[in-house]
Amino acid sequence: MSTSNTKKLNVTKLVETAVLIAIVLVMGNTILGTIQTPLLSVSLVTIPVAVAAIVVGPIGGLCCGAAFGINSFVRAVMGLGGMTTILFGINPVGMFITAVVMRCLVGLLVGYIFKALKEKTHLGKISYYIGALCAPLLNTLLFMTSLCLFFYNTDYIQELASGKGAANPIMFVIILVGIQGVVEAIAGLIIGGSVSLVLDKISKNA
Protein backbone atom coordinates (compact mmCIF):
# COMPACT_ATOMS: atom_id res chain seq x y z
CA MET A 1 0.00 0.00 0.00
CA SER A 2 1.39 3.42 -0.96
CA THR A 3 2.11 6.12 1.60
CA SER A 4 -0.76 8.28 0.32
CA ASN A 5 -3.22 5.39 0.59
CA THR A 6 -1.98 4.60 4.10
CA LYS A 7 -2.48 8.22 5.18
CA LYS A 8 -5.95 8.24 3.63
CA LEU A 9 -6.83 5.03 5.48
CA ASN A 10 -5.57 6.45 8.78
CA VAL A 11 -7.56 9.66 8.33
CA THR A 12 -10.67 7.63 7.49
CA LYS A 13 -10.26 5.55 10.64
CA LEU A 14 -9.78 8.69 12.76
CA VAL A 15 -12.93 10.26 11.33
CA GLU A 16 -14.92 7.06 11.82
CA THR A 17 -13.72 6.78 15.41
CA ALA A 18 -14.59 10.41 16.16
CA VAL A 19 -18.08 10.03 14.67
CA LEU A 20 -18.72 6.84 16.62
CA ILE A 21 -17.50 8.43 19.86
CA ALA A 22 -19.96 11.27 19.24
CA ILE A 23 -22.73 8.70 18.72
CA VAL A 24 -21.73 6.96 21.97
CA LEU A 25 -22.00 10.25 23.88
CA VAL A 26 -25.34 11.18 22.31
CA MET A 27 -26.80 7.75 23.03
CA GLY A 28 -25.30 7.72 26.52
CA ASN A 29 -27.01 10.99 27.45
CA THR A 30 -30.37 10.68 25.73
CA ILE A 31 -33.23 8.22 25.49
CA LEU A 32 -31.71 6.99 22.22
CA GLY A 33 -29.22 4.86 24.11
CA THR A 34 -31.34 3.22 26.78
CA ILE A 35 -34.51 1.31 27.42
CA GLN A 36 -35.40 2.13 31.01
CA THR A 37 -36.39 -0.58 33.50
CA PRO A 38 -37.31 -0.07 37.17
CA LEU A 39 -33.78 -0.84 38.39
CA LEU A 40 -31.28 -0.75 35.53
CA SER A 41 -31.26 0.61 32.02
CA VAL A 42 -31.05 -1.66 29.00
CA SER A 43 -28.06 -0.15 27.27
CA LEU A 44 -27.81 0.13 23.50
CA VAL A 45 -24.54 2.04 23.70
CA THR A 46 -22.58 -1.15 23.14
CA ILE A 47 -23.75 -1.04 19.51
CA PRO A 48 -21.50 1.87 18.36
CA VAL A 49 -18.71 0.40 20.50
CA ALA A 50 -19.04 -2.86 18.57
CA VAL A 51 -19.17 -1.02 15.25
CA ALA A 52 -15.97 0.85 16.10
CA ALA A 53 -14.22 -2.35 17.17
CA ILE A 54 -15.22 -4.13 13.95
CA VAL A 55 -14.86 -1.35 11.37
CA VAL A 56 -11.94 0.62 12.83
CA GLY A 57 -10.24 -2.10 14.87
CA PRO A 58 -9.33 -2.84 18.51
CA ILE A 59 -8.04 0.69 19.17
CA GLY A 60 -11.24 2.20 17.78
CA GLY A 61 -13.21 -0.15 20.02
CA LEU A 62 -11.05 0.84 22.98
CA CYS A 63 -11.64 4.56 22.34
CA CYS A 64 -15.41 4.16 22.04
CA GLY A 65 -15.49 1.85 25.05
CA ALA A 66 -13.60 4.49 27.01
CA ALA A 67 -16.09 7.16 25.92
CA PHE A 68 -18.96 4.89 27.02
CA GLY A 69 -17.36 4.16 30.38
CA ILE A 70 -16.23 7.69 31.18
CA ASN A 71 -19.66 9.08 30.33
CA SER A 72 -21.29 6.48 32.58
CA PHE A 73 -18.87 7.28 35.41
CA VAL A 74 -19.41 11.04 35.10
CA ARG A 75 -23.18 10.50 35.23
CA ALA A 76 -22.70 8.45 38.40
CA VAL A 77 -20.60 11.23 39.95
CA MET A 78 -23.21 13.85 39.00
CA GLY A 79 -26.02 11.83 40.58
CA LEU A 80 -27.60 10.85 37.27
CA GLY A 81 -26.73 7.16 37.30
CA GLY A 82 -29.33 5.65 39.61
CA MET A 83 -27.74 2.48 40.94
CA THR A 84 -24.25 3.48 39.78
CA THR A 85 -24.52 6.75 41.72
CA ILE A 86 -25.20 4.79 44.90
CA LEU A 87 -22.28 2.47 44.19
CA PHE A 88 -19.99 5.46 43.53
CA GLY A 89 -20.83 6.73 47.02
CA ILE A 90 -19.83 3.36 48.46
CA ASN A 91 -16.60 2.80 46.53
CA PRO A 92 -15.49 5.40 43.93
CA VAL A 93 -12.47 3.38 42.79
CA GLY A 94 -14.51 0.22 42.41
CA MET A 95 -17.12 2.15 40.44
CA PHE A 96 -14.44 3.61 38.15
CA ILE A 97 -13.09 0.14 37.38
CA THR A 98 -16.59 -1.22 36.87
CA ALA A 99 -17.80 1.62 34.66
CA VAL A 100 -14.67 2.67 32.77
CA VAL A 101 -12.02 -0.03 32.76
CA MET A 102 -14.47 -2.82 31.95
CA ARG A 103 -16.02 -0.83 29.08
CA CYS A 104 -12.53 -0.19 27.66
CA LEU A 105 -11.90 -3.94 27.77
CA VAL A 106 -15.20 -4.59 25.96
CA GLY A 107 -14.21 -2.46 22.98
CA LEU A 108 -10.67 -3.81 22.88
CA LEU A 109 -11.68 -7.48 23.16
CA VAL A 110 -14.43 -7.23 20.56
CA GLY A 111 -11.90 -5.76 18.14
CA TYR A 112 -9.48 -8.64 18.65
CA ILE A 113 -12.23 -11.27 18.55
CA PHE A 114 -13.51 -9.95 15.22
CA LYS A 115 -9.97 -9.70 13.85
CA ALA A 116 -9.33 -13.34 14.77
CA LEU A 117 -12.63 -14.43 13.23
CA LYS A 118 -11.82 -12.70 9.95
CA GLU A 119 -8.24 -13.96 9.75
CA LYS A 120 -8.61 -17.53 10.99
CA THR A 121 -12.08 -18.61 9.94
CA HIS A 122 -14.20 -18.71 6.81
CA LEU A 123 -17.34 -17.34 8.42
CA GLY A 124 -17.50 -14.33 6.11
CA LYS A 125 -20.43 -12.05 6.89
CA ILE A 126 -21.38 -14.12 9.94
CA SER A 127 -18.21 -12.92 11.68
CA TYR A 128 -19.65 -9.38 11.77
CA TYR A 129 -22.69 -10.60 13.65
CA ILE A 130 -20.67 -12.74 16.05
CA GLY A 131 -18.38 -9.79 16.76
CA ALA A 132 -21.34 -7.48 17.33
CA LEU A 133 -22.97 -10.00 19.66
CA CYS A 134 -19.81 -10.20 21.74
CA ALA A 135 -20.11 -6.52 22.73
CA PRO A 136 -23.31 -6.74 24.82
CA LEU A 137 -22.35 -10.17 26.15
CA LEU A 138 -18.91 -9.00 27.27
CA ASN A 139 -20.35 -5.77 28.63
CA THR A 140 -22.78 -7.69 30.82
CA LEU A 141 -20.18 -10.28 31.86
CA LEU A 142 -17.41 -7.81 32.73
CA PHE A 143 -19.66 -5.18 34.31
CA MET A 144 -21.51 -7.65 36.53
CA THR A 145 -18.31 -9.52 37.45
CA SER A 146 -16.69 -6.27 38.55
CA LEU A 147 -19.86 -5.17 40.34
CA CYS A 148 -19.96 -8.43 42.32
CA LEU A 149 -16.23 -8.27 43.04
CA PHE A 150 -16.35 -4.77 44.49
CA PHE A 151 -19.90 -4.45 45.80
CA TYR A 152 -21.58 -7.82 46.39
CA ASN A 153 -20.76 -7.85 50.11
CA THR A 154 -21.93 -4.28 50.70
CA ASP A 155 -25.14 -3.66 52.63
CA TYR A 156 -26.79 -2.11 49.57
CA ILE A 157 -26.23 -5.09 47.28
CA GLN A 158 -26.95 -7.62 50.02
CA GLU A 159 -30.28 -5.95 50.72
CA LEU A 160 -31.03 -5.88 47.00
CA ALA A 161 -30.04 -9.54 46.58
CA SER A 162 -32.14 -10.56 49.59
CA GLY A 163 -35.16 -8.72 48.21
CA LYS A 164 -34.75 -10.54 44.89
CA GLY A 165 -34.30 -13.91 46.55
CA ALA A 166 -30.74 -14.31 45.25
CA ALA A 167 -28.77 -16.70 47.45
CA ASN A 168 -25.40 -16.19 45.71
CA PRO A 169 -23.65 -13.87 43.22
CA ILE A 170 -24.55 -16.01 40.20
CA MET A 171 -28.25 -15.98 41.03
CA PHE A 172 -28.02 -12.26 41.74
CA VAL A 173 -26.57 -11.58 38.29
CA ILE A 174 -29.15 -13.78 36.55
CA ILE A 175 -32.07 -12.13 38.35
CA LEU A 176 -30.72 -8.60 37.98
CA VAL A 177 -29.81 -8.86 34.31
CA GLY A 178 -32.72 -11.06 33.23
CA ILE A 179 -34.64 -10.00 30.15
CA GLN A 180 -32.65 -6.81 29.67
CA GLY A 181 -29.53 -8.84 28.94
CA VAL A 182 -31.41 -10.77 26.26
CA VAL A 183 -32.70 -7.53 24.70
CA GLU A 184 -29.20 -6.04 24.63
CA ALA A 185 -27.80 -9.17 23.02
CA ILE A 186 -30.49 -9.32 20.31
CA ALA A 187 -30.17 -5.61 19.51
CA GLY A 188 -26.38 -5.86 19.38
CA LEU A 189 -26.53 -8.91 17.14
CA ILE A 190 -28.99 -7.51 14.59
CA ILE A 191 -28.25 -3.79 14.55
CA GLY A 192 -24.55 -3.90 15.38
CA GLY A 193 -23.80 -6.70 12.94
CA SER A 194 -25.74 -5.15 10.07
CA VAL A 195 -24.35 -1.64 10.54
CA SER A 196 -20.79 -2.95 10.87
CA LEU A 197 -21.08 -4.99 7.71
CA VAL A 198 -22.39 -2.06 5.67
CA LEU A 199 -19.93 0.50 7.06
CA ASP A 200 -16.97 -1.81 6.56
CA LYS A 201 -17.86 -2.25 2.91
CA ILE A 202 -18.28 1.51 2.44
CA SER A 203 -14.98 2.17 4.22
CA LYS A 204 -13.08 -0.31 2.04
CA ASN A 205 -14.57 1.13 -1.15
CA ALA A 206 -13.93 4.74 -0.20
Torsion of CA 134, 59, 101, 103, to 10 degrees: -30
Say whether pLDDT at 8 is over 70: no
Mean pLDDT confidence for 8-30: 89
Q: By percentage, how much of the chain surpasses pLDDT 90?
A: 63
> In this structure, is the dihedral angle defined by the CA atoms of residues 115, 120, 125 and 129, taken in order, positive or negative?
negative
Task: Report which of residues 35 and 96 the model is more confident about.
Answer: 96
Q: Which pLDDT value is given to residue 100?
A: 97
For the chain, domain boundaries: 3-205
Between the alpha carbon of residue 142 and those of residues 16, 52, 107, 149, 198, the distances in Å are 26, 19, 12, 10, 28
Task: Report which of residues 8 and 114 the model is more confident about.
Answer: 114
Between the alpha carbon of residue 62 and those of residues 72, 87, 106, the distances in Å are 15, 24, 7
Q: Which pLDDT value is given to residue 38?
A: 58
Does this model's pTM top 0.85? yes
Which residues, at least 6 apart from 147, have a Cβ–Cβ distance to it below 8 Å? 87, 98, 157
Mean pLDDT confidence for 35-40: 61
Between CA 185 and CA 149 the distance in angstroms is 23
Give tens-digit pLDDT for 114-126.
999 988 888 889 9
Give tens-digit pLDDT for 128-166.
999 999 999 999 999 999 999 999 999 999 998 888 888
Q: Which pLDDT value is given to residue 177?
A: 82
Q: Which pLDDT value is given to residue 73?
A: 96
At the topology level, CATH places domain 3-205 in Arp2/3 complex 21 kDa subunit ARPC3 (1.10.1760)
Give tens-digit pLDDT for 38-73.
555 667 999 999 999 999 999 999 999 999 999 999
